[in-house]
Chains A and B, each alone.
Chain A
Amino acid sequence: MTQQAPPPAGQRVIDIQGIRKAFGANAVLEEVDLSLEAGEVLALLGPNGAGKTTLVKILATLLRPSSGGGRVTGFDLLKEPERIRRQVGILAHGSYVYEDLTAQENLRFWATMAGLPADAGALQKALAAVDLESVAGERARTFSSGMKRRLALARILLGAPRLLLLDEPYAGLDQRGKKWLEEVLLDFRGKGGAVLMATHSFGRGLSIADRVAILAGGRIVLNRPRASLDLEELHRLYALATEDGG
Chain B
Amino acid sequence: MSFARRAWIVLWKDLLTERRSKESLNALFFFAVLLLFLFEFALGPDRERLTAALPGLLWLGFILAGLLGLGRTFLVERENDCWEGLLLTPGDKGAIYLGKLAVNFLLMATVAIVLLGLFGIFYNVDLWGSLAPLAVVIVLGTVGLASVGTLFGAMTSQVRARELLFPLLLLPVQVPVLLGTVKATEAVLQGLALSEVAHWLKLLAAADLVYLVVGLLTFEFVLEA
Q: Using a CB–CB distance below 8 Å, which chain A residues touch chain B? A: 60-62, 82, 85-86, 88, 90, 92-101, 105, 108-110, 112-115, 139, 148
Contact = CB atoms under 8 A, between A and B. Distances in A.
B86 interface: yes
Given A92-B81, A112-B6, A98 B88 contact: no
Contacts of A97: 80, 82
B13 to A, nearest CB: 5
Given A85-B90, A115-B1, A100 B20 contact: yes
Given A95-B81, A113-B89, A115-B6, 16 more contacts: A60-B88, A85-B89, A92-B84, A94-B84, A97-B80, A97-B82, A98-B82, A99-B79, A100-B21, A101-B13, A105-B13, A109-B9, A109-B13, A112-B5, A115-B90, A148-B80
A96 B77 CA distance: 8
Q: Which DSSP category, helix, strand, loop or mixed, fits chain B's interface?
A: helix
B87 interface: yes
Interface of B: 1, 5-6, 9-10, 12-13, 16-17, 20-21, 76, 79-82, 84-91
Contacts, number: 70
Given A62-B87, A86-B90, A114-B89, A96 B80 contact: yes
Contacts of A61: 88
Contacts of A105: 13, 16
A100 B80 CA distance: 12
B85 A110 contact: yes
Contacts of A85: 88-90
